[in-house]
Amino acid sequence: MDREFLIDLFADFGPVTIRKMFSGHGISVEGVNFALALRAGLFFRADEVTIPDFEAEGSKPFQYSTRAKTVLVNSYWELPARLFDDSEELARWARAALAAARRAKVKKRPKGKKVANKPAKKVTKPARARKTSTKKASARKRAKRTA
């Protein structure tokens, strides 16, 4: 699936951002990724609300194989093939996938700097009390002996 095909596919849904991702494309709206177009097919974001719809259509979750095992990604499910011919129905599924992606984003803890309750006090030692590295101290001792 190339970019032009995906843009046409989502025409009834509305404008989407398509960017290269893995071996295909990530499809997002307002920075929220809700679909993956990969060699294996088109996968929509799913959660406990939308997974029953995918199961009812006989869809499977996205999976990939590593050298050691097969990894099942239950948060992305294959889009039913019949939706490629029904752009209005595809738009409804895309809206549900976007809603699932937004719900997942809300569940995640916000990434940000940790804010301490009190500013940390800076503790400095007087210059004489600071430890020097053992290599530097050894070199100073040797220099004093030879002088």
Q: Do 10 and 27 touch, CB atoms closer than 8 A?
A: yes
pLDDT values of the chain reduced to their tens digit, one per residue, 147 residues = 788 999 999 999 999 999 998 789 999 999 999 999 998 899 999 999 999 999 999 999 999 889 999 999 999 999 999 999 999 999 999 999 999 999 998 876 566 655 555 555 565 655 555 555 666 667 777 777 766
DSSP designation for 120: P
Is domain 3-107 classified as CATH 3.30.1460.30?
Answer: yes
CA dist 6 and 38 (Å) reads 11
Neighbours of 141 (CB within 10 A): 10
The pLDDT tens digits for 47-56 are 999 999 999 9
Burial of 73-87, coded b for 16+ CB within 10 Å and e otherwise, reads eeebbbbbeebeeee
The three-class DSSP label of residue 41 is: strand
